[in-house]
Amino acid sequence: MLKTATISLIVLMIATTFGANLSAAEHWVTYEGKSGPGKGKHIVFVSGDDEYRSEEALPMLAKLMAVHHGFKCTVLFAVDEKTGEIVPSHQTNIPGLEALESADLAVVFLRFRSLPEDQMKYIVDYTNSGKPIIGMRTATHSFNIRNAEDKYRKYTFNFGDKYKGGWGRQVLGETWVNHHGAHGRESTGGIPAEGKADHPILRGVTQIWGDTDVYGIRSLTGDSEPLVLGQVLAGMTPDAKPVEGKKNDPMMPVAWTKTYKGDSGNVARVFNTTMGAATDLVSEGTRRMMVNSMFWAMKMEDAIKANLNVKIVGAYKPTKFGFGGFKKGVKPSDHNLE
């Protein structure tokens, strides 16, 4: 009787553990690359913004990198613990951040997150590792940690003192400043900065455009080098004319490269763009810039060809940017490859 009860208990424990792991795994999605230059490398995409649809943009990029180029790609989301659904405005939970421990590249598209310390730890450890980092759109203001006693408080976007501007400014090169272009009325045309047209990230790029506006930049930190300047356009189409006057004189950087040395002493390659909303990536040129930047960040420039495959995998009809406009009832598993 005792033996039977013990066996039953063991079976129950195994089933419970397996069930818990299965449930946890359903909070993110992984695409296994099969062949290509990325075989054996792991990219982790971290989504969590409540305006520009990172929860749609990053799965699209991840599928592209896995299917066309062989990378293993994991996409993490802001998930409501009660429903298991993706809720971008849920600022305190991104399950699966431990995936960063095996990442060769982190692509970050966050906005004003206030994560618990046990989750934030993985982001901080990765940041200090010397491995490459890419930031998109609102990543300059990824964190807004309100608890003054939180051990990671300094990563907040408006932190002062010795870590001014928080994670965005210190790691990526700038924090949140303002909307330089008129939000929702003036789109962005990307123009290579002087002497940067032949940079590997711009190889094969013919037109960079996005329907989001140009962000304001006060100054870029460290060894930042502007790669693309944002021309404010007087309309929401790629053929709109440039706005006349001071908005385009000078033009703000919308993409740049830099390095970051964390606590490990190792130096990371960093690429940041204030473009990258889900709708921006419909533009092949903008999408190509993002794909090229991932190869560059991992020091794989030789794999960047002018005709590198950046074709979208499957259907992609991104939702317009805006607060509260995310698709309701979507779970990470809904982004699985068909």
Do 230 and 274 meet the contact criterion of CB atoms below 8 Å apart? yes
Q: Are strands 72-76 and 28-31 parallel, antiparallel or unpaired?
A: antiparallel
Domain presence at residue 188: no
Is residue 14 in some structural domain? no
What pLDDT does residue 24 have? Answer: 65
Task: Give the DSSP H or E segment for 64.
Answer: helix 54-69
Mean pLDDT of 238-259: 97
CB-count exposure of residue 86 (10 Å: 0-12, 13-18, 19+): buried
Task: Tell whether the model's pLDDT for residue 6 goes beyond 50.
Answer: no
What is the count of structural domains for the chain? 1
Considering the domain boundaries, does residue 318 fall inside one? no
| 118 in a structural domain | yes
* 259-279 pLDDT tens trace: 999 999 999 999 999 999 999
CATH code, 298:
3.40.50
What residue numbers bound the domain in which 168 lies? 30-178+257-310
End-to-end CA distance of the chain: 48
What's the rounded mean pLDDT across residues 164-184? 98
For residue 211, being part of any structural domain is answered with no
186 located within any domain: no
Q: Is a pLDDT exceeding 50 seen at residue 2?
A: no
How far is Cα 335 from Cα 84, in angstroms, rounded to an integer? Answer: 14
pLDDT band at 64 (very low <50, low <70, confident <90, very high): very high
Edge to edge, the sheet with strand 267-273 lists 28-31, 72-76, 42-48, 105-110, 133-136, 267-273, 252-261, 225-232, 188-192, 208-210
Q: Say yes or no to pLDDT of 3 above 50.
A: no
Q: What's this model's pTM, rounded to 2 decimal places? A: 0.92
pLDDT reading at 1 higher than 70: no
113 located within any domain: yes
- The answer to whether position 322 is within a domain reads no
Closest residue by Cα to residue 110 from 71, 137, 147: 137
Report whether pLDDT(23) > 80: no
Instruction: Quick: pLDDT tens for 104-140.
Output: 999 999 999 999 999 999 999 999 999 999 999 999 9
